[in-house]
Structure 1
């Protein structure tokens, strides 16, 4: 039973999920790349600033102490939130440590650092600082040559604030673009999936319809192109199945009609024998002859129906053979059985790729049809001609002909053209249907047209080589 689709398993939902995953991955990669590059550049800039401050600090040394006024004056950067410690170690006296203003109070606060970025320190009251250390020796003064250790703590609070703004901006952009993109792709996926939903709904309605006319069709969407083509192919398949069902219904109706008439006649003669057979024995042989003839006709009809049924599930073995040789054999065999004169033209190379036994049945069926509908003194002509990749066999008679209205139906089962003129002609209306099916199994074509000045012309086209 058809069930309504689970929204989480529809194509639209799966496309949306896939897109959401891809979008999340892309945004994460882009965001992490931007943050990494920006963060690296900011830290590199701070490192360069610290190196610049360090050079100015070394140049501002007067004796064993730095000149803080000169250092601030010559620095191109804001040093108001920068802290410096200079430690001088001489051989004959204790180490001398100089601090920039407010540095001692700054250093008294506890700090945290991390192994991967040990040069970055965090103080709860001061924030983040970049710590740089350099070593050197005094180049002047009484302690010339003494070892000096320079330490600078450069504030990273501006960088952190900028980095925070960047993170917040990227986060907002990512969230906004993700929501907009998710909404857009969900809407697009639903729009692209809607034709398939319409197809499913229409199919469900057809399957559950109480009265099926076998002329139903599915809706055809204009886009996307794949669904448009799929809808067209579905309708072609549906028309083929509907036509097959209609043909089967017509076949059953026609078979029932064809069998009902002789059965009614047989039952009538049986009742006649029962009622009057004792008193009028002369009617018994006549009734038995009628019963025998009608039962034989029903037997032939049933055999033809079985042949048609088997042809729906058969593949013929195709080989190369000479059509002219087969035609000569058939003409020689049937010329003695029918009053019409059989004539054929002469053509040398008429090799075809088909099944010889089935082609013989086709020719026999067309010959039998021409014989039934042609005057006894007329001529039936066979013409064999080249037609590109095919060999055409034409069977021309001088009979009653076929109207333009009947031509499209002469190969239908049980169809008999011009019932008023052909009702006395023996036949079941299956001969041409069998011939047409055999031609189709041989990958050929069969058509009918008028034979000028009168009569009919059946044309069978068979392949010269493998199709």
Structure 2
């Protein structure tokens, strides 16, 4: 079965307008026709009632008597006929020119008094009994038929003219409505043709409102795409920058060994140490990139976690590795939250690594665990230099470091907090950064609390 071709604005509006106009026309024709038929039937019924009253007092045996009754009733004798079934079983047909009705075929319209007589037309038929005889009255409905013909002809002409004018109007209206849509579509096609280029905003018409809203949504989508494209460019630039230094160091030391290793063998261990250090740095960078890549595609099933126990266990293994003292403040009762235990361990370790790198060796690191209003908060505070306010909105971006010169005084690739933010998002939590008093930075993680598992 062939697929139906998509329709344009003009096709849809034209089809809808034509269907509406035809429906209205049919309703009008039916309404007026029914009204006209009912009116004519009521008139015929009144006429039959008048004839019935006359027949009750008069004896009709021939066509002359019938004409006299018609004239006495003030009715049109040319359009009113009668067939009489006499008491003796005979039939008298009082029709013009002596024509016998029995010779003609008749069809009765159900649920009405209307009868169609072949060769004669449409009649209102009524049966009356008077003076022992049965009278079958036939009142011609030529006025009704004529009016219906005129009505239908007039309505057909009116609908035809309305369709012609309406289609011209629809064509103009469709062109006016589709103009901003076509402009928007053209601009979107141009944007799609250059996906690697930062796109400008699409034109946003004020009317129709729906098209304007669509253009607004497209512009929001383009803005998100431009931001993603810019972040990808920045990511590639930052990754290249981070990899360039260790690669240059490794190649430089290899060249040094090749050029001077034979005459000065003492430089070989030192150069190998630099090569090992920089290769380890590259390894950490690549591992962090893999963590980010996996986190972007990860799907987790959050389970109730006893954060009090998980934090205590993590600190037990982490404290011997650093010089700073870690202080833990936690409620006496277990604190349960919804999340992934492995990811939470990675988040806490990354926050501790960050606090360790930026805190003086003689200053403590503080961890506070609390539950309030069905939310669990975990904060890690250090006593380092702190984070400027203008840098806090960028601190979770990939490769971003407050040290814009990217010196090697503090090790790191700028990916740790980006990984933390991604893992927190996967656990449907939030993470914020604020000042720690009297100095330093405080990272606060918020997760949804889980029901206690003690029951």
Q: TM-score, normalised by structure 1?
A: 0.78
Separation (CA, whole Å) in 2 of partners of 1:418 and 1:409: 12
User: Which stretch shifts more, 231-240 or 182-191?
Assistant: 182-191
CA distance in 1 between partners of 2:379 and 2:218 (Å):
37
Deviation at 1:398, TM superposition (A): 0.8
Matches of 1:159 and 1:65, distance apart in 2: 26
Aligned to 1:258: 242
2:202 aligned with 1:204: no
Superposition pairs of residues 100-115 of structure 1, within 5 angstroms: 103-104=96-97, 114-115=106-107
CA contact (8 A) 1:220 1:228 kept: yes
Deviation of residue 259 (structure 1)?
Answer: 0.6
Task: Find the counterpart in structure 1 of residue 227 from structure 2.
Answer: 243
CA distance in 2, matches of 1:186, 1:371: 72
Aligned residues: 442
Determine which of 411, 414, 436 is the counterpart of 1:426: 411
Q: Could you tell me how far apart the structure 2 residues matched to 1:10 and 1:17 are?
A: 11
Using the alignment, how far apart are the partners of 1:440 and 1:96 within structure 2?
101
Root-mean-square deviation over aligned CA pairs: 4.1
Give 1:339 shift. Answer: 1.3
The offset of 1:195, in angstroms, is 5.9
Could you tell me whether the CA contact under 8 Å between 1:86 and 1:148 is conserved in 2? no
After TM superposition, the structure 1 stretch with the greater mean CA deviation from structure 2, 69-78 or 284-293, is: 69-78
Match of 2:285 among 298, 301, 319: 301
- Comparing 330-339 with 238-247, which one deviates more in the overlay? 238-247
Contact 2:368 2:378 in 1 (8 A): yes
What is residue 72 of structure 2 aligned with on the other side? 74
Q: Does 1:336 align with 2:320?
A: yes
How far residue 375 of structure 1 moved from its aligned partner, in angstroms, is 1.0
In structure 1, C-alpha distance between the alignment counterparts of 2:172 and 2:136, rounded to whole Å: 60
Partner residue, 1:27: 25
Q: Which residue of 2 aligns with 1:356?
A: 341
Question: Which stretch shifts more, 22-31 or 248-257?
Answer: 22-31
Q: CA 1:388–1:85 in structure 2 vs 1: closer, same or farther (change >3 Å)? A: closer
1:175–1:364 distance in 2 versus 1, CA, 3 Å: same
Aligned to 2:389: 404
SS at match of 1:433: helix
Give me the whole-angstrom Cα distance separating, in 2, the residues matched to 1:63 and 1:334. 129
Scaled by the length of structure 2, what TM-score is found?
A: 0.80
Contact 2:106 2:118 in 1 (8 A): no
Give 1:316's aligned residue: 300
* Structure 2 CA distance for partners of 1:379 and 1:277, relative to 1, 3 Å: same
Q: Which moved more, 1:151-160 or 1:403-412?
A: 151-160
Could you report, residue by residue, the CA deviation over 1:260-295 in whole angstroms, capped at 9, with x for unpaired residues?
Answer: 111112111222222222222222222111111111
Larger Rg: 1
**SS of match in other structure, 2:443:** strand
SS in 2 for 1:419: coil
The answer as to 2:50 corresponding to 1:52 is: yes
Question: What pairs up with 1:346-385 in 2 under 5 angstroms?
Answer: 346-349=330-333, 350-385=335-370
Q: Deviations over 1:130-167 (max 9, x none)?
A: 78887876xxxxxxxxx989787756544443333333
* Alpha-carbon distance in 2 for matches of 1:335, 1:65: 130
1:369, CA displacement in angstroms? 0.8
Is residue 2:439 matched to residue 1:454? Answer: yes
